[in-house]
Amino acid sequence: MQIISNINEIRKIVKKWQKNDETIGLVPTMGALHLGHESLVKKAKTQSSKVIVSIFVNPIQFAPNEDFEKYPRTLEKDSIICQDNNVDVIFAPNANEMYADKNNLTIIVPPKNYQNKLCGLSRNGHFDGVATVVAKLFNIIHPDKAFFGQKDAQQLAIIKKMVLDLNMPVEIVSCPIIRDENGLALSSRNSYLSAEQKIKALSLNKVLQKIKEMYEKNETNHEKVLKRASILLDEAFDMEYLEAYDANTLEKIEKLRNNTLIAIAAKIGNVRLIDNIIL
């Protein structure tokens, strides 16, 4: 397995593969890899003959008050995980390589209706940063398929929309949320949690499961359902949102129905966690 940090170099590798009719799967990540990322890699391996994992903590998707500096960077450990999963290449550029002219950047701006809700409200400019870096990775690597987790549901909807609107020749494959044995959605940010906070964090999934349970008993009034379930959130958390949207378009829904995205974000101390389910 090679670790490449240079754009020209990875392009050369990809060109060679394409000449040999290899199919290329890309798994974009910010590193600090866990079993959630690994599930994306495993899926990519079954659907592509070559797999590239990109590891890049993308500065332009972090607001000044967020955890860019603190974000865990564990390249050595990540490479072992990738190697164990037969990844062909890790692409790990630095910020100068990706943003040579960082004060004069062309930015991809996803539609307002996809941004003015959920994480878009508190994370100003976040999805511009995400869409821009993903578009850059697609242009550098030209993957046949790219693998994204349902864990970041708004991100997934935004990437799919970008690919559709900009006619990007790549198939987006969504992958289910991987949780620990207690139901906590895996996240690189879980490493910020104390043991006690980790237990309290289980309540996020409890809220979501309660909603699913009520829906399965034919309760479709979303306001009622969300309100009832929200009391299960541990009181150590500050709820940022608990909302329901169409999972593909992120449009408001009249009542709960199949393909409704129920998404939650809440903060404990300085740690902000997100989770979701699709009914």
Looking at the annotation, which residues are catalytic? 37
Q: Binding residue for ligand AMP (CB under 6 A) from 188, 203, 260, 276? A: 188
Nearest approach, Cβ of residue 40 and ligand AMP (Å) = 5
User: What residues numbered 13-72 form the site for ligand AMP, per CB under 6 A?
Assistant: 29-30, 36-37, 39-40
Nearest approach, Cβ of residue 130 and ligand AMP (Å) = 8
Q: How many CA atoms lie within 13 A of 277 on its CB side?
A: 19
Q: 248, 153 in Cβ contact below 8 A?
A: no
Q: Binding residue for ligand AMP (CB under 6 A) from 81, 186, 247, 279? A: 186
Is the Cα torsion angle 226, 203, 245, 277 positive or negative in sign?
negative
Nearest approach, Cβ of residue 155 and ligand AMP (Å) = 7
Binding mask 134-163 for ligand AMP (x = CB under 6 A): --------------xx-xx-----------
Nearest approach, Cβ of residue 258 and ligand AMP (Å) = 21
Please count the residues of this chain forming the interface with ligand AMP, following the rule CB under 6 A. Answer: 17
Give the residues across from 92 on adjacent strands: none
Q: Which stretch binds ligand AMP (CB under 6 A): 62-70, 85-93, 180-188, 196-204?
A: 180-188
Q: Binding residue for ligand AMP (CB under 6 A) from 178, 263, 268, 274? A: 178
By CB under 6 A, residue 250 contacts ligand AMP: no
Task: Round to whole Å and give the CA distance between 208 and 35.
Answer: 21
Name the residue nearer to ligand AMP (CB basis): 155 or 222: 155
Spatial neighbors of 127 by CB under 8 A, at least 6 apart, are 61, 110, 114, 115, 119, 120, 154, 155, 158
Cα 91 to its chain centre, rounded Å, is 18
Name the residue nearer to ligand AMP (CB basis): 146 or 253: 146
Q: What is the dihedral of CA 227, 232, 238, 240, to 10 degrees?
A: -40
Q: Which stretch binds ligand AMP (CB under 6 A): 16-24, 116-124, 177-185, 200-208?
A: 177-185
Q: Retrieve residue 100's tokens.
A: 């040579």
Task: Round to whole Å and give the CA distance between 128 and 158.
Answer: 10
Give the CA angle between residues 199, 186, 203 to the nearest 5°: 35
Task: Round to whole Å and give the CA distance between 82 and 200.
Answer: 31
By CB under 6 A, residue 266 contacts ligand AMP: no
By CB under 6 A, residue 81 contacts ligand AMP: no
Give the CA angle between residues 36, 37, 39 to the nearest 5°: 65
By CB under 6 A, residue 85 contacts ligand AMP: no
Name the residue nearer to ligand AMP (CB basis): 144 or 225: 144
Sheet with 271-278, side-by-side order of all strands: 238-246, 260-268, 271-278
Nearest approach, Cβ of residue 2 and ligand AMP (Å) = 20
Interface with ligand AMP (CB under 6 A): 29-30, 36-37, 39-40, 148-149, 151-152, 175, 177-178, 185-188
